[in-house]
A and B are shown apart, each in its own frame.
Chain A
Amino acid sequence: MKKYKCIVCDFIYDEAVGIPDEGIPAGTKWEDIPEDWECPDCGTSKDDFEMVEI
């Protein structure tokens, strides 16, 4: 399980935790998040600002 960080606002997506509140179950891989997903904290698109693996 990996973690990814939004380079705009530092939101951390943790694959192990997912975002259950947004319908993304724990264990969802970054690659499996839809392309139109947006950072829940700043609205940045998934493909606009690459989340960096941490």
Chain B
Amino acid sequence: MSIVIIGTGMAGYSLAREIRKADAEVQLVMITADNGYSYPKPALSNALIQGKQPEQIISADAATMAERLNTVIHTHTKVTAVDSNAHSVETDTAGVISYDQLVLATGARPIRLPFKGNAADDLLSVNDIEEYTAFRASLEDAERIAIIGPGLIGCEFANDLAASGRSVTVIGPDPHPISTLLPEQAGKALQRGLSEIGIEWKLGTVAESINKADRGYELTLANGDKVQADVMLSAIGLKPELTLAEKIGLKTERGIVTDRFLATSQPDIYALGDCAEVEGKNLPYVMPLMIGARALAKTLTGTPTEVIYPVMPVVIKTPAHPIVVASAPREAKGEWEINATAKGTKCCFKSADGTVLGFALTGDAVEEKAALLKVM
């Protein structure tokens, strides 16, 4: 019996840990294109406030993880093909590896938009420890940071960079920050909170071109404004990494399509984490990943277990104005009920009969999370 996991991000390593809790003996092989460092990705967007250097975010290297998990880890290794009939994967450095069960935990990649100008390629994005290390190096002498994308990751980085003394401008077409998750009042409250620590906003417009300037860069926006920056970060969202899944011929939509057992469209192949779309939901957050890892570990070790998601609030790390949001199901019908005070905003998405279907809490109102979860 052999389980092969492709990917050593939080999904891959969490799954391996859960498998080891259930079965100390089953053969476990992990394959990763990077160096296999184990680290919590959410820690990248608040490391400055925490006073952490990039290397302090890493909890263990691949060799340590291999020993701890009693597994073989092939680092700097790419899967070049999967033969689902023969139950084997072909790699560029480790030959052909056979599996009884295969798990794709390939994660997601930042979405990149094309920009005009002679410095468009200098726009950074950060989704792993290597990119973060390069980003931190670029910050050494940087005072002015432009962030393209006023979403969750953009706002977390903006808060971290502004709190560490840099001047930050956030650019994006949205009417208010984190507009995909937050109702207007909550988004505006966040915007005010972040403005108070000096963050500037260029919303309702987009960057069109990025050019080198005498010092640093100049971004020209669609509304004609210009933003000067020493470092530029693109944070406009993530898209599931589907290259391998498509090569194998797995069914994909936004992510790799799976059922409640995380099984893909082909036998004995599973998908977990940011790359997976579980019954129509692609949820690139830690809690769904942990819940998925626990269920899948049971399934792979002989006890088929469905993934059942409870209400999973997302905690957004913007200490200048903290946010907790639990989105209502996409098809849910209801209205926002807003209670705003100077210190926080409580937004409840309620059905016609008054049932709470979702919420967004900001500032001091985040304290009400537990009470709201109880009535949902």
Contacts and interface: CB of A to CB of B under 8 A. Distances in A.
Contacts, number: 47
Given A38-B290, A44-B290, A8 B370 contact: no
B290 to A, nearest CB: 4
Interface string A3-21: 0000111110000000101
Interface residues of B, number: 22
A9 B371 contact: no
A41 interface: yes
A7 B286 contact: no
Interface residues of A, number: 17
A16 B287 CA distance: 26
Interface of A: 7-11, 19, 21-22, 38, 40-45, 48-49
B315 A9 contact: yes
Contacts of A40: 370
Q: Which 9 A-B pairs have the closest CB atoms?
A: A21-B370, A43-B290, A43-B287, A8-B40, A42-B286, A41-B315, A42-B287, A48-B17, A9-B42
17 contacts: A8-B40, A8-B42, A8-B286, A9-B42, A9-B286, A9-B317, A10-B46, A19-B370, A21-B370, A21-B374, A38-B290, A42-B287, A43-B287, A44-B286, A44-B290, A45-B290, A48-B14
A49 B291 contact: no
Chain B interface mostly: helix
B43 interface: yes
B138 interface: no
A43 B286 contact: yes
Given A42-B42, A43-B286, A10 B317 contact: yes
A24 to B, nearest CB: 11
Given A43-B289, A43-B312, 15 more contacts: A7-B40, A7-B43, A7-B59, A9-B40, A9-B42, A9-B315, A10-B46, A19-B370, A22-B370, A38-B290, A40-B370, A41-B313, A42-B42, A43-B286, A45-B17
Nearest to B38: A49
Contacts of B50: 10
Contacts of A22: 370
A43 B291 contact: yes
Contacts of B290: 38, 42-45
Interface in B284-315: 285-287, 289-291, 312-313, 315
A42 B40 CA distance: 11
A19 B373 CA distance: 14
B268 to A, nearest CB: 26
Contacts of A48: 14, 17
A2 B73 CA distance: 37
Contacts of B312: 43
Interface string B190-230: 00000000000000000000000000000000000000000
B371 A21 contact: yes
